[in-house]
Every structure is written in structure tokens, then in C-alpha cells.
């Protein structure tokens, strides 16, 4: 099996080298670029890119603008923005501009590696069966099972549980869940997430004994 290939676009050479070194140590192949010159289109055409790490503060163009442009051309590669733009409106703008995740500088290398792994796992096209604890997900029929018994979930609950399972042990903020699970829904309120998680918990753990999903006060949820 070939290594996953990550395209990194970062205009600070020392950070680019650090990202490449870190991810190569994790077993990924990388291609590094200091800007969004026309060579990137050629790379996307000729290489099977599994993930793009994109800075936003690039010479002459915002990274979100570039990603929107390549989306318009038909490229669908997963994207993580790695950027110093850390205001709430910047982060929301990033998720509106096709982000699969958003990491602000300065960042922790272990956390970055974990989030890269989570996005690659979540966006993988080869997943057939996922198993976490006693929950099994079968992609062939899009069903979850506990002890071989199918769990009856709504479409939203299905997508929410799948998002949790693909990001096991990673803190998921309510904002992130709204942007990845609810997507274009008009009902994008933080309390909507709380209600949906509560209903999901009742279905997968009716007796409250297993604590699959832990609530982190003021931050979000962790599936563990």
C-alpha cells in the first residue's frame, strides 16, 4: 500500500520544512510549496493527493480563495488550513471555504499529526468497516451495530455518530460539528448540537453505563 501523499502550501520556509519533517516521520509522503504558483495545478493533475495543508496568509492570495478556485475546477481533495488567522470569523470563513479542519498557529505538532490522521481517516474512500469499542459501522449498508444488533438512527444521528467515531479521542467543538454534520442546514445553532448529542446518547447507551461521548464543559465533546 502506498503512503498517503500530503501537499503542503506554506510561505514560511522554516515552518514548511518542519511540517514536512514531522509528517514524513509519521510515514506520509509530502510535496512542499512556498506559494500557489501554477505548478500546483500540475501537481493536482499528476499526483494522487490525499490531503492539502494550506496556509491562508500567502503572497498575493488568501489560501481560502485558492481552494475555492480549485474547487470550481473540480478538485475535491480534503483541506486543512494551517494559519495565523485565529479570530472566530476567520475560522468560520475557513469552514465555509471547504475546510475539513482548521488549525491555528502556533500549533502543537502532536495535535497537528492527530488531526491530519483524523481527516485522512474521515475522508478515506476505502473504509468498509469501522469498529470502536463495541460499536461497529458497516459502510456497505451505512448501519451501526452494538453486539450485532442494528441501531436505528436518523440520517443526522448517523452522520453525527460517524463523525465521532472517525475522530475518536479528539475534542470536537460544537462549531466543528455544525460545519461538518449539519453543513448547509438552516438549523445551525449550538443548542441544536446539544439536543442531537443527547438523543444519540440515549440510542447508543440507553442505560448511561458506557459513556461513549463525554461532554467537555464550554468546549465540546469527545468520543472515547
Residues 112 and 135 in one domain: no
Q: Which CATH number is 22's domain given?
A: 3.40.50.2300
What is the reported pLDDT for 126?
55
Beta strands at 5-9 and 29-33: parallel, antiparallel or unpaired: parallel
Residues 49 and 76 in one domain: yes
Residues 167 and 112 in one domain: no
Domain count, the chain: 2
Residues 10 and 111 in one domain: yes
- Which residues form the domain of 216? 129-223
| Single pTM value for the model | 0.58
Alpha carbons within 13 A on the beta-carbon side of 16: 17
The 8-class DSSP code of residue 56 comes to S
What is the reported pLDDT for 178?
86
Q: Would you say 164 and 213 are in contact if contact means Cβ atoms under 8 Å apart?
A: yes
What is the reported pLDDT for 198?
93
Which residue, 94, 123, 152, sits at the end of a domain?
A: 123
What is the reported pLDDT for 184?
58
pLDDT per residue as tens, the chain (224 positions): 568 899 999 999 999 999 999 999 999 999 999 988 877 888 988 888 999 999 999 988 899 999 999 888 888 889 999 999 999 999 999 998 999 999 999 999 999 999 999 898 887 755 567 788 889 888 777 889 998 888 999 888 999 999 998 888 889 998 889 888 886 555 567 788 899 999 999 999 998 888 899 999 888 999 98
Beta strands at 79-83 and 101-104: parallel, antiparallel or unpaired: parallel
CA distance 202 to 94: 33
Distances (CA, A) of 108 to 20, 153, 167, 183, 200: 15, 36, 17, 28, 31
Residues 116 and 136 in one domain: no
CA distance 175 to 208: 25
Residues 102 and 197 in one domain: no
Amino acid at each position: 500500500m502506498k503512503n498517503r501523499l500530503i501537499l503542503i502550501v506554506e510561505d514560511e520556509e522554516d515552518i514548511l520544512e518542519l511540517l514536512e519533517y514531522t509528517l514524513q516521520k509519521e510515514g506520509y509522503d509530502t510535496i512542499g510549496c512556498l506559494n500557489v504558483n501554477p505548478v500546483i495545478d500540475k501537481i493536482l493533475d499528476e499526483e494522487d493527493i490525499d490531503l492539502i495543508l494550506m496556509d491562508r496568509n500567502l503572497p498575493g492570495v488568501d489560501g481560502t480563495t485558492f481552494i475555492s478556485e480549485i474547487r470550481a475546477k473540480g478538485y475535491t481533495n480534503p483541506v486543512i488550513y494551517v494559519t495565523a488567522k485565529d479570530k472566530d470569523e476567520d475560522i468560520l470563513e475557513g469552514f465555509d471555504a471547504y475546510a475539513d479542519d482548521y488549525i491555528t498557529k502556533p500549533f502543537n505538532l502532536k495535535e497537528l499529526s492527530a488531526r491530519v490522521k483524523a481527516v485522512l481517516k474521515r475522508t478515506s474512500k476505502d473504509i468498509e468497516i469501522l469498529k470502536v469499542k463495541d460499536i461497529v459501522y458497516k459502510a456497505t449498508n451505512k448501519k451501526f451495530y452494538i453486539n450485532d444488533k442494528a441501531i436505528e438512527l436518523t440520517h443526522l444521528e448517523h452522520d453525527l455518530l460517524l463523525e465521532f467515531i472517525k475522530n475518536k479521542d479528539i475534542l470536537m467543538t460544537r462549531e466543528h460539528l455544525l460545519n461538518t454534520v449539519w453543513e448547509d442546514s438552516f438549523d445551525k445553532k449550538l443548542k441544536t448540537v446539544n439536543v442531537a448529542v443527547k438523543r444519540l446518547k440515549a440510542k447508543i447507551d440507553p442505560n448511561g453505563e458506557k459513556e461513549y461521548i463525554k461532554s467537555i464543559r464550554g468546549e465540546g465533546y469527545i468520543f472515547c
